[in-house]
A and B are shown apart, each in its own frame.
Chain A
Amino acid sequence: MTAAVHPDRNFKYWLVAPAIFLLLLIGLFPLIYSLVVSFMRIDMMDTDTSFAGLYNYANLFKDARLWWSLAHTLLITAIALPVELLLGLAMAYLFLERMPGRQLFVALLVLPTIISPIVAGATWRLLFDNRYGPINQIVSFFAGERMDLLWTINPNLVYPAIIFCEIWQWTPFMFLILLAALSNVDKSQLEAAEIDGARFWRSFRYIVVPAIWPVMAIAILIRGLDLFRIFDIIWALTQGGPGTMTETISIYAYVQGFKQFETSYTAAIAFLVIAILTVVCTWAIRRMGLAK
């Protein structure tokens, strides 16, 4: 390198120092703190800072509400992620070829993604209102009779409501990324395949998917991570209710930490979440071939 040109050898460290300091303060400090606290027994009543061993971690396994919240999180992810991906892909195909006014269509379609998630949740709360919201009106129109659906209260409807909102907000994100990726696929290969008589599905499977995979994999990873920590939309729509029916892992950790003040237990939950994410991410990054 050209370091010899300039004698200031510490220059490169001065450049990274502030960033690393902040990351340590905000990223590493809380982790270490949590780790220490998770081995104690601090809650609202008690500040017992003596070493309690794996007490909190043992409790994790007995806590049915925790595992349910994890199951809820996975349920939402398992439905929303594939739908967003497939719908986004279909939309990207729709707009792939030139058409006059395409930019305007794309700009309008991207609106939901630009809105803050908490506002997206609030908006759908207004839309889903059983009496003054338009959704029941539209449903009634198609059903031919008056429907009075309690979207954010009825146990059978809360998940559809949350997942609708989630899909509405984030499908455009997938769409935009996949549209960019599809536009970069080598057209000559596709034309050659068509001349050879390959049907759409074959050329999609063997030419398009491998070409867009690096981008698609990152999009899936980003959305998967975001879905795993879903909080805002649910907070706005149901606050985890009815009861604890739509409580996700983020909502549950929030409740434990800031409503019940279970300091040590919350720290243990945080570590469980980090452990799960580390394992899943490492696996996914290897599996998707994103690592170098």
Chain B
Amino acid sequence: MDRTKWYVLTVGLLIGAIAVTLVKLGNPPNMGFCIACFERDMAGAIGLHRAGVVQYMRPEIIGLVLGALLASLFAGEFKSRGGSATFVRFILGVFMMIGALVFLGCPLRDVLRMAGGDYNAVVGFIGFIFGVGTGVFFLKRGFNLGRAEYSHSQGGGLALPLIMVFFLFLLLKATVFNPDAGGPLFFSAEGPGSMYAPLAFSLGAGLLVGILAQRVRLCLSGGIRDFMLIRDNTLLLGFIGIFAGALLLNIALGFFQTGFAPQPVAHTMHLWNFLGLYLVGMTATLLGGCPLRQLILSGEGDTDAAAVVVGMIVGAAFCHNFMLASGAMKAAAAGAAASPGGPGIYGQIACIVGIIVVAAIGFAFRED
């Protein structure tokens, strides 16, 4: 195995271990990192949706973008660029979030959930592989969203990182504009949004992982895609590293618990676990990267990736405002029956519509 591969594997192990450490420090279970969940919490924090249990300005996301910015600046790779079907990418971002919230996690959280013993995540993972496979089918047919251009100004590429700095400022300053209704930031009093590691750790973890992921070009959909397309397993080793790192630490800390139920922030509707991540896998492959990779690219000055990130945040608001997101399973409690969780009818329809729309984009953007 050459040096690059060892490097990617090591970075994966480290990210897996950092993720479990964040859970130990207060993040929701099996959610040390979840790009989709955390962007959803951010959408709630700025009031784009008012689902009271999932509102928090996640410092991990801010750190990931700023870490990638720093790493790319030092490496001379920061370059403002964009113009490759930007609005189509925004729409794909919306649907990528819908898929993720039907499953209850992005591909990164899927790996972390599998490493926590959650069998539902294995069902999702199979869906993800099929989704990436469908994306590869479109790529082989000549799918292309077009060329991006380098900009004469670096301003555009700095826009999303600066928005993240502003979010961090709001979080640190904790100003309240409206004493009655709250805001500009909203915070959960209960539920996953109320569970978080101390700010300094979350931000530091985000920065570190942002730097590492930028250097090794870590991408979860890319790992499977490259293996399918060119039998290259470099990025796949990152995937395996995250799994192994999280698994070891989960066992060591007593977080490891196998089965379909009970599992934290998860549901047992197999079809929708499969189709949710199927939609994410297909969309991520057409976009050239998973939700994590989109954050990293937007830190490097890629404004098309920034459009995907904003699309995902807007998509998260749709998910909670229109009842598309899945509910998590609940154990029976006083006065309430147990619930297996899962998407309601609107979420199921949105997921199917997403698969159809993304496939239509896959067919429509065929070159030559």
A binds B: no
| Chain A residues near B (Cβ < 8 Å) | none
| Chain B residues near A (Cβ < 8 Å) | none
